[in-house]
Structure 1
Amino acid sequence: MLFDLARPALFALDPERAHKLTIAALKAAPLGRAARPGALATEVAGISFPNPLGMAAGFDKDGEVPDKLLAVGFGFAEVGSITPRPQAGNPKPRLFRLVEDRAVINRMGFNNGGAEAARQRLAARKDRGGVLGINIGANKDSEDRIADYAEMTRIMAPLATYLAVNISSPNTPGLRALQDESALTGLLDAVLEARGADGPPVFLKVAPDLEPSDIDAIARIAADKQLGALIVSNTTISRPDLRSHHAHEAGGLSGAPLRNLALQRVRDFHKATGGSIPLVGVGGIASAEDAWARIKAGASLVQVYSAMVYEGPGLPRRITCGLEKLMRREGYSSIAEAVGSE
């Protein structure tokens, strides 16, 4: 109700300024109780999740409010992307609301305060518990991006429940080339060596704009490297029919128009992996029904971000309450039972 009252004022602001105000409001809010395990509890990659709904990377780029996100009902929070050195990102404006399409286009460019500032901030909350994913990236001007990922792994592994390797943002030139088979093998070898034998699971975040041969190659490499999960998917550079006057802005498209493509990519990766690697479904999820469809298509976990822009902070609890009803209505005793059941 409060969000409904505040939304016109927020939407009157530049989207990036509104986002900063949202982060500031969360920082100032009292710390509530994190979600507790219940009927939706599930285990993925050896990690116990109180529920399968997470906040996707990109919202809390610098790891400022993970505990506040857990307190609004998310079962896990993924912060970042964080790079070794601070970087300003791409020129403004770089974030656009497509209200008519319930979508967002961004070309932020991994803007963040760098690894050391995030490390100090996240180290201070380490004993609070909760499932924390740390999404790592490379600096735009790096001479050796694989070395950047290895460095970020060494810095963040002690603080993370899982590490998410982001090679699928369309807003850092050349980054998606790391999804190519030979480059991806070298990258993951470097990350896994830097993580060590006792480090957290490594999740790989992939783009939705992949050819069938790319999907098969990534699935094969993920199995060979024994990755914890694949995050399917990042924003898209494709442009379905859109009504907003921002439709032709450069950058990654997220929100409702991504729903069908991202759902299909979960199906594709579930088939390519034979269900042997957990999937995290993300892209266009705005309701319990959306999340349930992603789970039945093969996702063990789901994430949201853009829908929060339009639905507000009550969305996590609406989705988790709805998921529990759907799960029981269809006769499943756990989320894990429903994964891939379509």
Structure 2
Amino acid sequence: MTARAVLLRTGYRTFLRPLLFRAHHGDPEAIHEDMITWLERLGASPAVRGLLRLLHGGAANPVSVAGVAFPGRVGVAAGLDKDGRAALAWQAFGFGFAELGTVTGLAQPGNDRPRVFRLRESSAIINRMGFNNLGARAMAERLDGLGVRRGNLQVGVPLGISLGKTKAVPLDAAAEDYLTSLRALAPFADYIAVNVSSPNTPGLRSLQGADHLGALLGALTREAEHLAAAEPLGAVPIFLKIAPDLSWNEVDAVLETACEQNVRGVIATNTTLTRHGLAPADEARAAEAGGLSGVPLTARAREVVTYITAHSPLPVIASGGIMSATDAEAMFDAGARLVELYTGFIYEGSGLIAAINALPPTRRTA
């Protein structure tokens, strides 16, 4: 680990994290909302962004995936910045891209609170947020106001946008709901992530079944081609985010469908419904509904990434259980082209980004 990474990690663990974790009587969601508010304010100042870039260093080891040039291999996972409020800030922390959302066709409040639970001894989080967001149109207006356009790097890094299904929309109308979001956001997205794997919207994971998935992905990729008629960059690439709880036969079927429908990449994985690997002190939380992320997901997410890269030509963005530079390096060695952080960023801070950026390029990501 570099001196910069050690300094950032020590400062976060010693000073900032204890303050954050105690704020709002330890309410993780309220703390998260404050964090996004502060990042939005910091990002609005070019001078502050410049100082933060000096402190954190820049992204490293650029890589091209699905025609998108990423200046670095580590990015923001969906869920961290649901409405794109902190879009201007992410580059300043050393991220090489940011995946905004998950956003839905219609604004929705998400599930009832409390819906986020920190499992400190396990370095994990359980969440059942339920795609709370202001809707696709509001995100489009926000990004338009920032001057973002696909490919212009207005916020310094490529932006992915994760799309989900509005809870009130029935499953048989899901495709049109996703299309509503795609039409609103394609002009601003360097790639689109299709989230059919969150465990927190009733029935959503059933869209990973071959029949539902083929129809949905086909509709999205065809619409992306249609929208690209006046787009010099061509169709916005569509990526698919999958669950870690699928069997290998189910993964095979998903990959086959994705390739048939011209999907350009896979994001592996979302949160898990299993509760393996929890520390004894956290086992009382196991009964909480929702998806589990963090250290208990590390091994399974790496297994899924390894399987996909061995069985499919699609490039993989690794997401899930990346809590250290060693975890990221293992994902790169398994064949991932990029990695994303959420829970790792919450527990380890920006030192984790610096440590991953300091990793040497591997043969598979160079």
Q: Please report how far the alpha carbon of residue 318 of structure 1 lies from its aligned counterpart in structure 2 after TM superposition.
A: 2.1
3-state SS, counterpart of residue 365 of structure 2: helix
Which 4+ residue blocks in structure 1 deviate beyond 4 angstroms?
A: 33-38
Aligned to 1:18: 31
The 1:9/1:37 distance shift into structure 2, 3 A limit, reads closer
CA RMSD of aligned residues (A): 1.6
Please name the residue that 1:206 is paired with. Answer: 242
Q: Distance in 2 between matches of 1:310 and 1:241?
A: 17
Corresponding residue SS for 2:314? coil
Give the aligned residue type for 1:165: V
CA contact under 8 A between 2:237 and 2:263: conserved in structure 1?
yes
How many pairs align?
326
Alignment of 1:148 onto 2:184:
no
Counterparts of 2:275 and 2:83, CA distance in 1? 29
SS at match of 1:314: helix
Matched, 1:220 2:256: yes
Task: Tell me the CA shift for residue 36 of structure 1.
Answer: 5.6
Cα deviation, residue 313, structure 1: 2.7
Which of the numbers 268, 283, 288 marks the counterpart of 2:307?
A: 268
Distance in 1, matches of 2:30 and 2:365, equals 39
Q: How do residues 69-80 of structure 1 correspond to structure 2 at under 5 angstroms?
A: 69-80=90-101
SS in 1 for 2:72: coil
**Following superposition of structure 1 onto structure 2, how do residues 1-342 of structure 1 map, counting pairs within 5 Å?**
2-3=11-12, 4-12=14-22, 13-29=26-42, 30-31=45-46, 32-33=49-50, 38=60, 40-125=61-146, 126=148, 127=152, 128=154, 129-143=156-170, 144-196=173-225, 197=228, 198-243=234-279, 244=282, 245-273=284-312, 276-321=313-358, 323-324=359-360, 327=361, 332=362, 336-337=365-366
Alpha-carbon distance between aligned partners in 1 of 2:107 and 2:20, rounded to the nearest angstrom: 28
Deviation at 1:287, TM superposition (A): 1.6
| 1:83–1:112 CA contact under 8 A, matched in 2 | yes
Amino acid of the structure 1 residue aligned with 2:19: A
Residues 129-159 of structure 1: CA deviation (Å, up to 9, x unaligned): 5210000111101031111111111111111
Aligned AA (1:28)? R
Q: In the alignment, is the contact (CA less than 8 A) between 2:217 and 2:263 conserved in 1?
A: no
Asked if the contact 1:136/1:152 (under 8 Å) is kept, the reply is yes
Q: Percent identity?
A: 42
Q: Secondary structure at the match of 2:287?
A: coil
Equivalents in 2 of 1:52, 1:90: separation in Å?
A: 32
TM-score w.r.t. length of structure 2? 0.85
- Further displaced range: 86-95 or 307-316: 307-316
Residues of 2 paired with 1:37 and 1:239: CA distance? 34
Deviates more, 1:122-131 or 1:258-267: 122-131
Checking the alignment, whether the CA contact within 8 Å between 1:158 and 1:199 is kept in structure 2 is: no
Once the two structures are superposed, residues 245-265 of structure 1 have per-residue CA deviations (whole angstroms, 9 ceiling, x without a partner) of 322211000001100000000
Q: Deviations over 1:74-107 (max 9, x none)?
A: 1100000001111010000000000000000000
Instruction: Considering fraction of residues, name the structure with more helix.
Output: 2
Evaluate the alpha carbon distance shift between residue 36 and residue 45 of structure 1 in structure 2; reply closer, same or farther with a 3 A threshold. farther
Unaligned residue ranges in structure 2 (runs of 5+): 1-9, 229-233
Question: How far has the Cα of 1:314 moved from its partner?
Answer: 2.9
CA contact (8 A) 1:151 1:194 kept: no
TM-score (norm: length of structure 1): 0.91
